[in-house]
Every structure is written in structure tokens, then in C-alpha cells.
Amino acid sequence: MDNWPLPPFYKDAKSAQEQAPVEAVIFAPEGKILGGRLERFLPESLTVSFAAHGDATVRSIPFTHINSIQLIHPMALVADTELLDLHREAVGQIASPSMRAFRVRFVDGEQLQGQTKGFVRTRRGLFIFLSTEAERVVRIFIPENALASYQVGGLAGLPLVKPDPLRPAQDGRRLDAHPEDGGIRNAESLAQKISQLHGFAPVRLGDILMNRGLVSRDQMFEALRRMKLGRHPVLSTVLVEMEALTRAKLTQAGRTS
């Protein structure tokens, strides 16, 4: 499905890419549920193109009218051994993708919890990969406007847009400007900063950037390949040289934590 990421260090067990439309359910405010076909998923425009069951009309639905989207057909994920091996050889550390408990709290007070094989957090919302008994995952997307807070393993997060007394929101609440970067000045300080904020063991920069949707699998693969060739020993420096990562992206990663 276009624009729908996979969790870090996993890949689709199928070789062929899934093609739209896909069967999906939209959970809307006030308990409304809409089943149908997800024709297009467009996070950059904060909309989806959706055709409800029994209706041939494809409608554009804004994220503000959505609490979550669930793709009906589970996906089989397998460890991305090629990327994991390259990460071990280039960085000298073993990345171990594993199941983690998660809990999501929605703005309307509802909660979602379970086990996930990973997550991707972007400025548009949170992608969760809910594990099922059949070793597959159900893909769920929660738009930023519907997300109150989340916790995955030891990592907790809040909405990227927070109340601000200077600017009223559409629903009458007020939205805060983004906080300052909290002293993050370079890539090397990012993982340590996030670990300090949440009180858990240090995490790898590669995991953070992929969890945040700031670096793609292909970009990470190329950066690790260059590290293995000995061009530079620091992952963040390689990503900057590749123009895959900027200081603005680092600041964004710090704000999403």
C-alpha cells in the first residue's frame, strides 16, 4: 500500500507489493464505523480516498474526520535479514526486532492496546502493527489529530501539536507552538537525549530515525553500506552527507519523542 510504511528491520513476507484498493475500516468520532475500500492513502494532504461498501462513489475523507484506519487483511512480516546483517557489520551492534507491548490513548478517551512488532511515528500520525495469533500483523494508522498519547515498550510519546494560548483550534481548543529542541545540537546527542527524557536504556539512532519515518529502509541500507566501506564511522554523518538527514529532521525527531 503506497505511503504505508513498515516497522524498522522488518519486511513484507510477500515479494509482490500490495496494490490499491485494499479493504479497510475507518473508525470515526462518536463511535461511527465505515467499511469499504481504501483507494488512496494520502498523508501529505491529510486525506484518504475511500469507497464505502455498497457505494461506488470514491470520496475524499480528511484525517480530522478519522480516529483510526485499519487495513482488513493481516500482513506477514519477517525480519529484514539483509538490513540486519549490514547493520551488524557496519555499526558493530546487533539490532533485534521484537514484539513489544503498546497502548494508545485517543483524544476522545478511547484506548487501544496489545502487542506490536514495531511502529512508525510521523508528523501525520502513528502507524502500529498489531500482532495476531497467526504471527501476522494488522496495520493501523492513527492520525495526529486523534492521538492523545502512546507508549510502545519503554518509549512514550505525546502529540506533536500541543495546546497554545495564542492560536485557537477549529474545535475551540487552543494549540501550543512546538517546544524548543531541548539542546539537541547534533545527531550524536539525539539518542542520549531521548533516553534521558524517558528513563530507559540508550537506543540506537537508526531505530529512532526509522521509527520516526525520517529515514527510509533504502536510505538506511545505503548509509550502512557506505559505513561498511569505511567512508565514515558515524551513521548520522553519513546520512547528512547523503542529504537524507538534516538538522531540521533531527529536531523533528526530538520533538516526536
- Kindly report, residue by residue over 77-86, the tens digit of the pLDDT: 999 999 889 8
**pLDDT over threshold 80, residue 144:** yes
Specify the range with the lowest mean pLDDT, choosing from 96-100, 155-159, 197-201, 235-239.
Answer: 197-201
Say how far apart CA 192 and CA 187 lie, in whole Å.
Answer: 10
pLDDT band at 58; cut points 50, 70, 90: very high
| Residue 139: DSSP 8-state | E
Return the axis-axis angle of helices 247-256 and 188-198, rounded to nearest 10°.
10
**Of 231 and 107, the one with more pLDDT:** 107
What average pLDDT is seen over the chain?
78
Say how far apart CA 108 and CA 158 lie, in whole Å.
Answer: 15
- Asked whether 137 and 120 are in contact (CB, 8 A), the reply is no
Exposure string for 99-109, b = 16+ CB within 10 A, e = fewer = ebebebebbee
Say how far apart CA 250 and CA 184 lie, in whole Å.
Answer: 8
pTM, to two decimals: 0.72
pLDDT band at 113; cut points 50, 70, 90: very high
Say how far apart CA 166 and CA 211 lie, in whole Å.
Answer: 31
pLDDT in tens, 170-200: 333 222 233 333 333 444 444 444 334 333 3
C-alpha cell recorded at residue 120: 512508525
DSSP string of 187-218, one letter each residue = THHHHHHHHHHHTS----HHHHHHHTTSS-HH
Burial class (CB in 10 A: 0-12, 13-18, 19+), 123: middle
- 42 Cβ partners below 8 Å, 6+ apart? 3, 48, 49
Q: If you average pLDDT over residues 39-66, what whole number do you get?
A: 95
Return the axis-axis angle of helices 81-91 and 217-228, rounded to nearest 10°.
40
Q: Positive or negative CA dihedral for 109, 115, 121, 124?
A: negative
Residue 148 has a pLDDT of 95
Could you tell me the residue ranges of all domains in the chain?
A: 80-91+180-257
